[in-house]
A and B are shown apart, each in its own frame.
Chain A
Amino acid sequence: QQQVKQSPQSLIVQKGGISIINCAYENTAFDYFPWYQQFPGKGPALLIAIRPDVSEKKEGRFTISFNKSAKQFSLHIMDSQPGDSATYFCAASAPSNTGKLIFGQGTTLQVKP
């Protein structure tokens, strides 16, 4: 119930291509879905986040698509660049008086020049 399942585990994309990472959840109480980007040797950093009242959110080359009925959300990276090579984590949070985040297992993205 508290899990967030993320796929694929790793992804190789050519420069200029589209990277797509998918996440699925079971807990319908989740109401906040952030994506974090982590470079080697660094801590995760918030990339983009969405709430379930919208189906899509776009920030630059990064877009979150959200399908409430399917309990799935995905990150699309358009025009992928070698600098996007990192590990990406989806996460979810349920309404509460805390900021606890449940993270997916992570996807290691490599963008080839």
Chain B
Amino acid sequence: DSGVTQTPKHLITATGQRVTLRCSPRSGDLSVYWYQQSLDQGLQFLIQYYNGEERAKGNILERFSAQQFPDLHSELNLSSLELGDSALYFCASSVGAGTRRETQYFGPGTRLLVL
């Protein structure tokens, strides 16, 4: 158990809908990272938050947004969902901003299926 929790574990929804994925980092970790894992694209970095502020952005679609709250949990919002958004979404956390190459601890993931 990495100490990172993600809810829900599974999510089934329809095209055009909006969902929210939630992540609680390990106790003491200030950074939260979101990654998308699909069969054809592998593990893709989406976005990083550090202590409430956006730190880095990857190939995140405009339909997706995220935030980190004062208690350091993070939410990833996916809207106007398309079939191609079906994937595993992982959250990871690290103690710092990543500049010292701290270990990123991954949660168990949320499996999203868009029908």
Interface residues on chain B, number (Cβ under 8 Å): 30
Whether A100 and B48, one on each chain, are in contact in the complex, defined by CB atoms closer than 8 angstroms, is yes
Interface residues on chain A, number (Cβ under 8 Å): 25
Whether B97 and A106, one on each chain, are in contact in the complex, defined by CB atoms closer than 8 angstroms, is no
User: B81 near A: Cβ within 8 Å?
Assistant: no
The CA of A102 and the CA of B46, in the complex, are separated in Å by 11
The CA of A49 and the CA of B105, in the complex, are separated in Å by 14
Give residues 75-93 of A contacting B (CB, 8 Å). Answer: 89, 91, 93
The CA of A101 and the CA of B106, in the complex, are separated in Å by 13
Q: Which of A11-19, A38-46, A55-63 lies at the binding interface? A: A38-46
User: A66 near B: Cβ within 8 Å?
Assistant: no
B54 to chain A minimum Cβ distance, whole angstroms, is: 10
User: B98 near A: Cβ within 8 Å?
Assistant: yes
Q: Write out, one digit per residue, whether chain A residues 22-62 have a CB within 8 A of any chain B CB (1) or not (0).
A: 00000000001010100001111110010100000000000
- B residues within 8 A CB of A106? 42-43
Closest to A43 in B: B106
Q: What are the 10 closest A-B residue pairs judged by CB atoms, nearest first?
A: A99-B98, A43-B106, A98-B56, A103-B43, A105-B42, A32-B101, A100-B56, A46-B103, A44-B106, A98-B55
Seen from chain B, the residues whose Cβ lies within 8 Å of a Cβ on chain A are 2, 4, 31, 33, 35, 42-45, 48, 50, 55-56, 58, 90, 92, 94, 96-99, 101-109
10 sample A-B contacts, Cβ–Cβ < 8 Å, listed by A number: A43-B90, A43-B92, A51-B101, A89-B42, A89-B43, A93-B101, A99-B33, A99-B94, A101-B45, A105-B42
